[in-house]
Amino acid sequence: MQKLNYCLLALALSGCVAGAPQESADLRDVPTKTVRYAELNLNTADGARALFRRIKFAAAEVCEPLDGRALAQHVIWQKCYERALADAVSQVNQPRVTALYRGVANRG
């Protein structure tokens, strides 16, 4: 079964939010989310869109603890989300998914 695991440096980023000094994050403590896509045909536009939606949802979910009302917290959440999205798309390494990501990333 295909699955995608992606890791974020969320623990290091959360240290910024709390004002604590940054320390290198131990990868065992970094939040992850598994996105399963074995049933999707990534050679079709529908399959690629379905996986990209799942990746975006998972990225938002993993980064959610970093979000807050303050602008600085939202900026940190946004960076976390963008990094998670980029890393996951890179790991999937499927042209249609990458094209969807590039379309989103280019719109800013």
Give residue 45's domain range: 3-107
Place 100 in a pLDDT band, splitting at 50, 70 and 90.
Answer: very high
- For 32-60, what is the mean pLDDT? 93
3-class DSSP string for the chain: CCEEEEECCHHHHHHHHHCCCCCCCCHHHCCEEEEECCCCCCCCHHHHHHHHHHHHHHHHHHHHHHCCCCHHHHHHHHHHHHHHHHHHHHHHCCHHHHHHHHHHHHHC
- Count how many domains the chain has: 1
pTM above 0.95, yes or no: no
Looking at per-residue pLDDT, the higher value among 5 and 106 belongs to 106
Does 19 have pLDDT greater than 80? no
pLDDT > 70? residue 82: yes
Mean pLDDT of 80-95: 91
